Amino acid sequence: MIPSLAAALTRLLRERGLSALGLSRAAGLADDAVRNIISGRSLEPRGEVVAALAAHLDVTLESLLEGGPVPRGPFRGDEMVEVPGRAWVPVRWSGPTAERLEAKDAPSWTLPVSALGGRDPAGLVVYAAEEDGPGVRRGDRLIVDTADDLPSPPGLFVVFDGVGVLPARLSVVLSATGSMMRISDAGGTADVPLASNIRILGRVVAKWSLL
């Protein structure tokens, strides 16, 4: 995946006459973000980094990762779309452990297509974080792709751990017993079996904080 992403970025820089530094700054990233991806120094770029690059370059996120970047489609970057709000509420019969989740509607948001990380609006929801997480503060608004529930490539997700709903960074790692899912949240980092009680509710493709 990473060689394809590096090749796609190299091709786009050449075709559009851009520099790695210029693209990084234009996408709102660290100065060395693009250079590190192209050189192979950044082996697992964060999902929001790749999404920001795809949005700025006006290509779909999937095609950028696969190495053959194509335009995002019928939406222009300056168009506005309505993204529904979503709240996930754990339901407890007794004790601290939740038995299940209920999905409830929350206020919708009208957003520019450029804020959607190159994703089609279908399947996206806006979730108000109720817990701190990696790079996320309580109250931040997260754009979550509910159709993307696989922790590969690594990225920031909204998950249900059997007790509550929280943002966490997920990735797949190899261990002596096979593939595991690494989950990092405000409480630390742990490796759990892929078939665990962690339910992935969707990938975070963008976020913003309310002042």
Structure tokens of 41? 């120094």
CATH number of 80-208: 2.10.109.10
How many Å apart are CA 28 and CA 16, to the nearest integer? 18
Q: Write down the CATH number for the domain with range 2-66.
A: 1.10.260.40
Please write the tens of the pLDDT for every residue from 84-135: 999 999 998 888 888 889 999 998 988 877 777 667 788 899 999 998 888 8
Q: Do domains 2-66 and 80-208 have the same CATH topology?
A: no
Residue pair 177/19 in contact (Cβ under 8 Å)? The answer is no
Separation between Cα atoms, residue 172 and residue 151, nearest integer Å? 6
pTM score: 0.62
Give 75's DSSP letter: -
Domain ranges of the chain: 2-66, 80-208
Q: Which residues are paired to 175 by β-bridges? A: 178
What are 155-195's pLDDT values in tens digits? 899 999 888 999 999 998 887 777 888 999 888 898 888 87
